[in-house]
């Protein structure tokens, strides 16, 4: 008759517990990866839409500003008010640059909040892990 020392010392229970926690950890990591992939797909779509909108806005906006500037300067070229027209055109270009910069900074803040749900879930997991220690 042989004595099962592993069973007597409780190693079987420890092994079963480790197997259970490894399986649970694997499922949790898989769930978190799926969540991150879903959020990445959402973020990628939003970035693509923003890029296309910015390109179209830049293309048509620059063309409009350029043609408007040329038309204004051609209209006022041979008058004594050409300096005022030039100042107005330059002021309009400056205002357009300020508005564009403000929109760009606003978009950057909005995209800085990516993966909020994933970060929240991982923070909760980390807090729960620290409590179990």
Residue extents of the structural domains in the chain: 10-132
Higher per-residue pLDDT: 53 or 33: 33
d(CA 111, CA 66): 30
CB atoms inside a 10 Å sphere around CB 57:
12
Question: What would the pLDDT profile of 43-88 be if each residue is shown by its tens digit?
Answer: 888 888 888 888 888 888 888 889 989 998 888 888 898 889 889 9
CB atoms inside a 10 Å sphere around CB 114:
15
Q: Is 115 left (phi over 0), alpha (psi -120 to 50) or beta?
A: left
pTM above 0.85, yes or no: no
């Amino acid at each position: 008759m042989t004595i099962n020392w592993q069973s007597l010392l409780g190693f079987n229970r420890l092994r079963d517990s480790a197997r259970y926690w490894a399986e649970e950890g694997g499922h949790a990591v898989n769930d978190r990866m799926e969540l991150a992939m879903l959020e990445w797909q959402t973020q990628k779509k939003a970035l693509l839409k923003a890029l296309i909108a910015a390109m179209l806005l830049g293309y048509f906006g620059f063309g409009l500003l350029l043609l408007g500037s040329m038309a204004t300067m051609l209209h006022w070229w041979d008058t004594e008010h050409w300096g005022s027209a030039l100042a107005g055109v330059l002021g309009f270009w400056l205002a357009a640059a300020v508005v564009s910069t403000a929109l760009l900074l606003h978009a950057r803040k909005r995209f800085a909040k990516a993966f909020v749900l994933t970060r929240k879930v991982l923070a909760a997991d980390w807090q729960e892990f620290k409590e179990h220690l």
